[in-house]
Amino acid sequence: MWKPPERIKYQTTVARWPTEEEAVGSRLYSPLSSPNLSLEQRTWVPAMVPWRASEEGDVTQDVIDWYARFAEGMPGAIVVEATGIRDIPSGPLLRISDERYVAGLRRLTDAVREASGGRTRLLIQLIDFLTIRRRPQPEAFFNRFLDVTATHRQRLGMKQQDEQAVRQRLLSLSDSELEDVLSPRELESLRQGYRERVTDTHLPTVSTLPTTLPVLFAQAARRAQAAGFDGVELHYAHAYTMASFLSATNTRSDGYGGSREHRVRLPLEVYEAVRAEVGEDYAVGCRFLSDEIIATGSDVDDACFFAKEFALAGMDFLSLSRGGKFDDAKQPKVGWAAYPYTGQSGYECMPAYLSDERGPWGRNSEPVSQIRAAVHSAGMSTPIISTGGIHSFDQAEALLAEGKADVVGFARQALADPDWFQKVRLGRGNEVLLCRYSNYCEGLDQKHKQVTCELWDRAALDSPDAILATDGKRRLTAPRWSP
Ligand SMILES: Cc1cc2nc3c(=O)[nH]c(=O)nc-3n(C[C@H](O)[C@H](O)[C@H](O)COP(=O)(O)O)c2cc1C
Ligand code: SF4
């Protein structure tokens, strides 16, 4: 992953934890009563893909164990990982793309309800993504994938030669010579792997997204409701289709790109379709970016505009992330796909302990505060969830006290210690396992390996409660803690 050039090393420490009395009386542990979203406390575990589903995208026992373990900590809400809405092979990505997934998802909602004693609300994140391919071997790219065009022939001075000769010639060229022959998109496909964009409207599947996506999201939301989830989170963040519609890089000319009003159109139409399907009294919100952190991307002003539109449309919550784009992703190794958390935008999404003078904590807090203020200035009070480097009670409480957020998201800190919420509420914060912001977990995510936390393996691996990963060296869930 990209690291800030300053490379200042930070260590997570917490100066003080609240007593039980202080915690119980705090804003963080006060309920949120919003029409479709009532939380017992204002804590939230945002979506995190753990790579536990089957190859067909089914809920497995490992998926159930993963979420039940989070539920034992009894946060206000847990959002189940990005879950695919298209019925296409997607590897071990959890799916909700057909009725056949509902029974497994029902087992998951039952398990979470039981593990939290019904105190934690459970939502599911719905995702759509476009085609992305692995970085090819140059031989495969030039011999099979590349369409040889008149432009190539002209640039090579090979108008008459047969196609195979053109391909051989291309294969023999150096990197810099190729820059004079291939188009920027062809070069990208060679160097990073082919990646579809929402602006590829010459492809029928892409030009028709405004018709296909509302239906796919709505059907998935109906299944989530049938499976017993308390709500759905529409994934409008990071590197995926809906975020690409919101992006300032979206130049579609069919009324769904260009101006902010046009870029937000499909995300609003998807929301309307979902709402029509699940009814007025079901929690529907979205996750989107406070800033894309890429050159020519959307910034916090755009995010304020989108937030007001989503709030006015009737969304029940807005959860803000940051960065995580393909646009600045590092070049993958041959045979690997680009990963959107390897560039600077990826760093801003999941900042790590080697950082700049601002450090890895709370980098999203100020932009989110501005977005919340914009929503309030439009006369709305839609709950805003702020996430990013939050690990201490004081940090979280200050966000609420200063009106910078309504609910506080803990992603990696909840992964490191799912009992954070219980320990702090009981005045036992000094027993919290603090996240180091090492991004060991994120490295596993990148390789689509079972995600675990490096801290868990400090407890004995042979204890009776330890379920081990397929490599036999890591715990699959956090060690048990009882109050
Ligand atoms: C292993 C891992 C998987 C993640 N998967 C998702 C995901 O499926 N959807 C999503 O919106 N964010 C995902 N994220 C981002 C987190 O939800 C969160 O925004 C990010 O980690 C920053 O918050 P933190 O500093 O509290 O960890 C993931 C993060 C990690 C570490
Ligand atoms: S591996 Fe554990 S300590 Fe490291 S960033 Fe992930 S959750 Fe935090």
Encode pLDDT of 114-158 as tens digits: 999 999 999 999 999 999 999 999 999 999 999 999 999 999 999
Please determine, for residue 450, whether its predicted confidence score (pLDDT) is greater than 90: yes
Please determine, for residue 437, whether its predicted confidence score (pLDDT) is greater than 90: yes
User: Cα(163)–Cα(472) distance, rounded to whole angstroms?
Assistant: 51
The residue-averaged pLDDT of 252-264 equals 98
**pLDDT recorded at residue 32:** 98
Please determine, for residue 444, whether its predicted confidence score (pLDDT) is greater than 90: yes
Query: 436 CA distance to ligand 2 centroid (A)?
Result: 6
User: Cα(215)–Cα(237) distance, rounded to whole angstroms?
Assistant: 19
User: Cα(416)–Cα(388) distance, rounded to whole angstroms?
Assistant: 14
**pLDDT recorded at residue 227:** 98
Q: With 0-12 CB in 10 A as exposed, 13-18 as middle and 19+ as buried, what is 394?
A: middle
The residues, ordered by sequence, that sit 6+ positions from 47 with a Cβ below 8 Å of its Cβ are 79, 80, 81, 82, 125, 233, 235, 287
**pLDDT recorded at residue 184:** 95
Contact 264/211 with Cβ under 8 angstroms? no
Closest ligand, as measured to the CA of 83: 1
Contact 258/130 with Cβ under 8 angstroms? no
48 C-beta closer than 6 A to ligand 1: yes
Query: 46 CA distance to ligand 1 centroid (A)?
Result: 7
Query: 250 CA distance to ligand 2 centroid (A)?
Result: 34
Counting from 1 in the atom list of ligand 1, the atom nearest the Cα of 412 is 27
Tokens for 36, please give them. 């479709």
Encode pLDDT of 277-307 as tens digits: 999 999 999 999 999 999 999 999 999 999 9
Q: What is the largest CA-CA distance in the chain?
A: 84
For ligand 1, atom 13, name the residue with the nearest CA: 48
DSSP 228-294: T-SEEEEE-STTSHHHHHHSTT---SSSSSSSHHHHTHHHHHHHHHHHHHH-TTSEEEEEEES---S
User: Cα(118)–Cα(60) distance, rounded to whole angstroms?
Assistant: 22
**pLDDT recorded at residue 326:** 96
386 C-beta closer than 6 A to ligand 1: no
Encode pLDDT of 72-89 as tens digits: 999 999 999 999 999 999
Contact 405/373 with Cβ under 8 angstroms? no
242 C-beta closer than 6 A to ligand 1: no
User: Cα(60)–Cα(83) distance, rounded to whole angstroms?
Assistant: 14
Integer CA distances (angstroms), 31 to 39, 76, 108, in order:
5, 8, 24
The residue-averaged pLDDT of 255-260 equals 98
Tokens for 165, please give them. 């000769």
User: Cα(389)–Cα(287) distance, rounded to whole angstroms?
Assistant: 17
Residue 222's SS3 state is helix
Res. 23 pLDDT band, cuts 50 70 90: very high
For the chain, percent helix, then strand, then coil, each to nearest 5? Answer: 40, 10, 50
* Mutational pocket test of ligand 1: of 10, 49, 293, 436, the residue with most ligand atoms within 8 Å of the beta carbon: 49
For ligand 1, atom 15, name the residue with the nearest CA: 48
Counting from 1 in the atom list of ligand 2, the atom nearest the Cα of 439 is 5
**pLDDT recorded at residue 472:** 86
Please determine, for residue 459, whether its predicted confidence score (pLDDT) is greater than 90: no
Query: What is the identity of the amino acid at 252?
Result: R
475 C-beta closer than 6 A to ligand 2: no
Beta-sheet pairing, 37-39 with 32-34: antiparallel
Please determine, for residue 471, whether its predicted confidence score (pLDDT) is greater than 90: no
Tokens for 162, please give them. 């047969």
The residues, ordered by sequence, that sit 6+ positions from 261 with a Cβ below 8 Å of its Cβ are none
98: number of CA atoms within 13 Å, CB side? 7
Please determine, for residue 1, whether its predicted confidence score (pLDDT) is greater than 90: no
Query: 192 CA distance to ligand 1 centroid (A)?
Result: 23
The residues, ordered by sequence, that sit 6+ positions from 122 with a Cβ below 8 Å of its Cβ are 67, 71, 77, 78, 80, 108, 109, 112, 113, 228, 229, 230
Provide the mean pLDDT of the chain: 97
Tokens for 11, please give them. 């260590």
Contact 60/33 with Cβ under 8 angstroms? no
Nearest CA to 124 among 241, 281, 269, 284?
284
pTM of the model: 0.97
The residue-averaged pLDDT of 431-445 equals 97
Res. 464 pLDDT band, cuts 50 70 90: confident
Please determine, for residue 461, whether its predicted confidence score (pLDDT) is greater than 90: no
- 318-353 per-residue burial string, b: 16 or more CB within 10 A, e: under 16: bbbbbbbbbbbbeebeeeebbbbbbbbbbbbbbbbb
Residue 407's SS3 state is strand
The residue-averaged pLDDT of 174-192 equals 96
- The CA dihedral of 174, 175, 176, 179, to the nearest 10 degrees, is 120
Query: 450 CA distance to ligand 1 centroid (A)?
Result: 15
User: Cα(165)–Cα(447) distance, rounded to whole angstroms?
Assistant: 37
